Structure 1
Amino acid sequence: MEAFSQPAKHHPPVGISDRLALAFTKFLRFFADVFFAKRYGHRAVVLETIAGVPGMVAGTLQHLRALRRMESDNGWIQTLLDEAENERMHLMTFVHISNPSKFERFLILIAQGIFYNFFFLVYLFSPRTAHRIVGYFEEEAVLSYTEYLADIDNGVCENVVAPQIAIEYWNLAPDARLRDVVLAVRNDEAHHRDVNHQFSDDLS
């Protein structure tokens, strides 16, 4: 269950738009590290509400593009909407695990509102850059969940019982624990990383 293709894979930036996408990602990662530190569950709750935005925005704009041009989307729309739904399930899972505070819920409202409009504009003017940003976001997500796994293994984070919503969504064993959930989520993020980097390459 733990194995999947190159969990720590990195896409080297090529050109100024890639470098800007990577710099923006590292900028946000810095603030996430400062604010959440080792509170991985709470970090996941806030960040997964953001992670669910790009797929929905991109899926909507790709849908409108296909309608305008009266042509096939080559499967992009469903892939992007599936990604958004998957990220939403990550959120619902970690809500059960972490029970976010009122302040974190308020932070989510602010962060999501700002990021939705930002990402919409980026995708409108440069879909390639937008997908590269998501690819780099997912690279950082893989790293964060890998750190989470290490702290579970080292006893820093308690390996609690997996919530039922996660067991049903990922078809986990009835006695699954938090470690199993984090592995499944990390696998999803690695897949989103590869898909978005590929989409960005296809738009080059």
Structure 2
Amino acid sequence: PTILKGRTQNNGQSCIATKRVIVHAAIAEAFERRFVAAMGALKVGDPMDESVDIGPLATESIRDGLAKQVRDTVERGATCVLGGKPLPGPGFFYAPTVLKDIPDGSPAADDELFGPVASLFVVDDLDAAIAVANGTRFGLGAAAWTRDDDEITAFIDRLRAGNVFVNGLVKSDPRLPFGGIKDSGYGRELGRAGIRGLCVTKTVWVD
């Protein structure tokens, strides 16, 4: 599934990896069932083995930090429906994890989780979905799935992110400017805007 790929690219250690999955209540139960099954089927192990889906995290501190974020989120009231702990043995491995019922103010709601941990949020309508999406200090990218033209327009106009993708995962393209807002930074790389940022602009003032 596309969302699975978005969450697990580079073992979840990517600034554009899917962090929070916001699902309409009408399909939430079916989505959760399929998504949890897909996450649970991922093979964890040596990344040099082509049959492996999830490799280790980059450092011990990243793994331990992720474990603390998950633990703190669950202690605040979230439900862990899959995984939720580091894996034993050598290497900095963390089990593919799915969290739901995530409270405001918890790490899974407010922070970036760099690792194979998916955070599920269930909403009743478009306005609630946009409110959850915008309710973070980060603003690099957002991806929305819909076939409704009015909803597409609403997502484009109202999502507060430097990059908004509709019916596709957030990605960079050398032809297009790429960058964030809020705590995800300012300025742009790539595209015309990125090229201009690397140019030497000469200012001349003659009185």
TM-score, normalised with respect to structure 1: 0.24
Decide which structure has greater helix share. Answer: 1
Bigger Rg, structure 1 or 2: 2
Q: Give the structure-2-normalised TM-score.
A: 0.24
